[in-house]
Amino acid sequence: MKFEKETRVYIAGCGGMLGRAVYEYFNARTTVKATDIDLNIAWLSYADVRDYGSINDSISEFNPDFILNLAALTDLEYCERNQENAWLTNALGAENIALIACRLDVPLVYISTAGIVDGSQEIYHDFGAHNPLSVYGKSKYAGELAVQTMVRQHFVFRAGWMMGGGPAVDKKFINKIYKQIKAGANTLFVVDDKLGTPTYTKSFAAAIYAVAETNLYGVYNQVCSGSGSRYDVAEEFVRLLGLENRIKIVRVGSDKFEKEYFAPRPKSEKLENLKLRARGIDFMPPWKEALADYAREFKADLSA
């Protein structure tokens, strides 16, 4: 499809860090209705993907040309503790929206995750084996399969280690590191035995838009190019903040944080954009370039 300002785009689960980036990008170019169960910003209205009646009414009254489902519980420990809610949000929610997309016969985007792999190999392309370890990964993979089997015009985009939203919104690794720095920490303990591919929300949102316009439906890994360990990302982030001479980063194993982060995680969840690259539609930047852009928000906050 070709997006125009009159194109009606419905975005479910738009209240999180990815939602901010997707809303900003699509709202500037299309006509958007954005919903969530947490109305944390003025442009959101209420709809619950777990409740078929709620989400069906919300989508149907808007009569969209295109649907994006961003709704997800992404905190791995929360999902382990609240398994029913994880399945209802990540899997049933995906089925509910897939049913509606089928009925309306409109394209659907579902956001999946590198967390669907088991880490038994180092790098995973789009056609690789999937054997999720955690409730989060299993419920997201179930949602992915529902979309693949139920919706004719579907895009599934698998993201890696998400970064974006800035100090106020980011709930992931970068902001956890930043909060320690902001609190005055001079030493950071960061694991070096977990490998992955950072994924910048702003780049991801722009790439969804560009790939969707090609009508080349399917399942895609969509991550920034390059990869590394959590330690590598932290080291680069501290350097970009200009604090490499003040802050010491100590390599540790995951066992140091096993009580806090008890959900099973793969040793490696590195993705490569094999299909996007082969089709000439890989619009994602190198992760260090993306992190440099993102770090400017934190640098500004540090000096505020």
pLDDT, tens digit (0-9, with 9 covering 90-100), for 16-35 = 999 999 999 999 999 999 99
Q: Residue 104 is which amino acid? A: L
Higher-pLDDT residue of 287, 302 = 287
Whole-number average pLDDT of the chain: 94
On the question of pLDDT at 303 being above 80, the answer is no
On the question of pLDDT at 47 being above 80, the answer is yes
Mean pLDDT of 265-289: 96
The pLDDT value given to residue 255? 84
The pLDDT value given to residue 171? 83
Pairing of strands 154-159, 218-221: parallel
The pLDDT value given to residue 146? 96
Query: Within the chain, where are the H helices?
Result: 17-27, 52-62, 76-81, 83-87, 93-104, 135-150, 173-182, 201-212, 230-240, 274-278, 287-302
Q: Residue 102 is which amino acid? A: C
Q: Which two tokens stand for residue 154?
A: 């579907």
Lowest mean pLDDT among 51-55, 193-197, 218-222, 254-258: 254-258
pLDDT, tens digit (0-9, with 9 covering 90-100), for 117-153 = 999 999 999 998 889 999 999 999 999 999 999 999 9
- Report the C-alpha gap between 13 and 94 in whole angstroms: 11
The pLDDT value given to residue 300? 85
8-172+197-227+268-285: CATH class = alpha beta
On the question of pLDDT at 40 being above 90, the answer is no
Lowest mean pLDDT among 93-107, 212-226, 249-263: 249-263
- Report the C-alpha gap between 285 and 155 in whole angstroms: 20
Lowest mean pLDDT among 24-33, 191-200, 272-281: 191-200
The CB density around residue 218, as the number of other CB atoms within 10 Å, is: 12
The pLDDT value given to residue 166? 86
On the question of pLDDT at 160 being above 90, the answer is yes
In 3D space, the residue among 76, 195, 98, 82 whose CA is nearest the CA of residue 142 turns out to be: 98
Confidence of residue 54 (pLDDT cuts 50, 70, 90): very high
The pLDDT value given to residue 1? 85
On the question of pLDDT at 91 being above 80, the answer is yes
The pLDDT value given to residue 259? 81
Boundaries of every domain in the chain: 8-172+197-227+268-285
Query: Looking at residue 225, what DSSP letter applies?
Result: B
273 to each of 179, 222, 300, how far by Cα in Å? 31, 6, 32
3-state secondary structure of 34: strand
Q: Which two tokens stand for residue 177?
A: 């590191």
The pLDDT value given to residue 304? 61
Provide the Cα torsion 260, 84, 197, 295; round to 10°.
-70
Mean pLDDT of 50-72: 97
Q: Residue 112 is which amino acid? A: S
On the question of pLDDT at 258 being above 90, the answer is no
